[in-house]
Structure 1
Amino acid sequence: MGSHLDSARQFFGRDTTGLLDGGRYALVHTRSLEFDDLRPYVPGDDIRDIDWKATARSGHVLIKRFVSEKHHKILVIADAGRNTIAQAPSGERKRDIASNVIGAIGLITLRRSDEVGMVFGDVRGCVDIRLRRGETHIESMLHRFHHHTTTDPAPSSVVTQLNWVAKHYRRPLLIFVVSDEPEIDDRLGEVLTRLGAQHDVMWAMVADMAAVGSVDDDDDGYDVVGGRVVMGGATLGPHVVEAYRQAEFQRRERLSDFLTTHGVAHARFSGSTRIRAGLTAMTGTYARVR
């Protein structure tokens, strides 16, 4: 594998079994499945899937496990603007976590031979990489994303990328948005409504490092978007620090409710070590609500 996929695999691992298998993810609503293996019966399983010969031989009720033989068409929409320069709570650059998330999605598609493409960019516009299969294609996507985020990107505007996809992609897709935590406004709500009517959408949000640390923190922060210094917690004092924490908690709650209302399964990533747990939780939530 290339260096970018190797980095993603370091955090995500090799086992992609079960991720994106079956159900609505196939985007074709038929029971068109291929046999995978056997497992013990549990209450609620479809009795049509019982393998009676294997059950008789083993003395235990065994169920045939299937995977979808339909290949997904997956599109990653990624912010590659200035917001990605900032640090995440783990201390990593947000662009590196985003790249590892995208790489992990690519690793999932390799086992299934899914088609994957990407639209990324900043406020100036979009780079549109069409859907294809294979390791070389995914590594090339990651290389182009890395190059964009490390060569003086313009201000971020993920709504620009979302609107591009809503206008130019008509056939149903499974969409993964990879960006920081978006600001709630009418433009975001409108484009998510349009996308949700045509596609299935999930959102992997890369978190910012807290703008204000503890009351013992003498170090000032820095706003990569505005270029301003953010005073440390020791300077601001305990009342301001606590007010900031409460405001951040409420902001995240509002954002989660907003995305849920628009049918967008989502997870927040504070660092690369959380990628596997975050993607598993996000896809699991999506499967349940569908």
Structure 2
Amino acid sequence: MAQTLLTRVKSRMFVHLHRRTRGLLDGQYASVFKGRSLDFEDLRTYVAGDEVRDIDWKATARQGNTLVKRYVAVRKQLVLLVADTGRNMAAVTRSGESKRDVAIMAFGVMGYLASRHADLVGLACADADGGTRLPLQAGEPHLERLLQMVHRATTLDGPASDLDGLLRYVADSSRRRMLLFVVADEAALGPDTVELLRRLRVQHEILWLTVQDADLTAAGQDVMVDVASDAWLPESLRRDRRLTDQYRDAAEQLAENTTAVLRSLGIAHQRVGGTDAVVAAMFALLESHRRAR
């Protein structure tokens, strides 16, 4: 029997994580929802490790000892995987892997954490031809279907990527408050994109993972092709020092601009160049989001 996509994700996760760090990643995921969709239950004495923000200062002053608020969950959490399935995501990333494989690894890690907490996970994906959505459900079999959908939809001969179209589709089709986990290609975030993100941030929390482009100036191949435009860059041009310096400057500027825009909107952001970097990036992404709340 062929290995499922989720099995591959979990295998790679466990290579990078031992039991203790798996628990830490689990805790980072849970911290994203702490204080959300919770009802106050009672007060208890503060113990080391409790969040300072949970201290009830008025009750503490009245009782003379430090008390923290305890909450009880009132419903399952909602996580929407937001996938760019345009042909840009079928291109090669820095590690030599397909960006699609890196995206599936990231979605698999997030979905697996949600499944361990019995939370509901859905998928919204889009390219230049429009969007598709799979419903919010719990469980690993459902997560496998979501990953397979991303895998099938992302091909080199498919439609172009359309980040604004993807975000607009999510904004128009999402009525319930959710955590949006976006995995996308390197792309300039223009005024229209920023406005869409502002609209989404009013209702949802957003985590963003950028899959890095391959280095087009790298040696080793006669021709490299930009799948978005079908433009090709021969080895002779990639040996031109002036052109390669300009390319690297432009790539660095794009990365800096993306980071600055997302930070200004309060959106946690990380960049990855291969599947081996995904687990560490997820740690950093969840921690960054927790600290910003």
TM-score (norm 2): 0.82
The corresponding residue for 2:10 is: 9
Contact 1:205 1:269 (8 Å CA) reproduced? yes
1:64-213 matches, cutoff 5 A: 69=73, 71-150=76-155, 152-213=157-218
Equivalent-residue separation in structure 2 for 1:90 and 1:127 (angstroms)? 29
Q: Does 1:262 align with 2:265?
A: yes
3-state SS, counterpart of residue 268 of structure 1: strand
Unaligned runs of 5+ in 1: 50-63
Deviations along 1:47-97, one digit per CA (max 9) or x if unpaired, are: 979xxxxxxxxxxxxxx9x99745310001101111011101010001111
* Equivalent residues, number: 270
Q: CA deviation at 1:133?
A: 0.3
Residue 11 of structure 1: CA displacement? 2.4
Q: CA 1:195–1:163 in structure 2 vs 1: closer, same or farther (change >3 Å)? A: same
Q: Among 257, 268, 286, which residue is 1:283 paired with?
A: 286
Give the deviation of 1:10 after TM superposition.
2.4
Using the alignment, how far apart are the partners of 2:150 and 2:221 within structure 1?
35
1:195-250 CA distance string (max 9 Å, x none): 0011001111111101222xx66733111111121133765422222222222112
Q: What SS is found at the alignment partner of 1:171?
A: coil
Does the 8 A contact of 1:26 with 1:72 survive in 2? no
Letter in 1 for 2:9: A
Please show how residues 21-32 of structure 1 align to structure 2 within 5 Å.
21-22=30-31, 24-25=33-34, 27-28=36-37, 30-31=39-40
Which of 241, 244, 260 pairs up with 2:247?
Answer: 244
Q: Helix, strand or coil for the counterpart of 2:160?
A: coil
Deviation at 1:144, TM superposition (A): 1.5
Q: TM-score, normalised by structure 1?
A: 0.83
Give the share of equivalent positions with the same residue, in percent.
28
1:221 alignment counterpart: 224
Specify the SS of the correspondent of 1:126. strand
Amino acid at match of 2:254: R
Deviation at 1:124? Answer: 0.7
Q: Distance in 2 between matches of 1:176 and 1:146?
A: 17
Distance 1:221 1:76, change over 3 A: same
SS at 1:127's partner residue?
strand
Cα distance, 1:225–1:110 mapped onto 2, change above 3 Å: same
Q: Which moved more, 1:178-187 or 1:256-265?
A: 178-187
Q: 1:137/1:44 Cα in 2 relative to 1: closer, same or farther (>3 Å)?
A: closer
Cα-to-partner distance string for 1:247-285 (whole Å, 9 max, x where unaligned): 211221111001111111111110000111001101111
Is the contact between residue 40 and residue 71 of structure 2 (CA under 8 Å) also seen in structure 1? no
CA-based RMSD of the aligned residues comes to 3.0
Q: Of the candidates 226, 229, 235, which is equivalent to residue 232 of structure 1?
A: 235
Q: Deviations 1:88-136 (Å, cap 9, x if unpaired)? A: 1010001111111111111101110010100012111111111000011
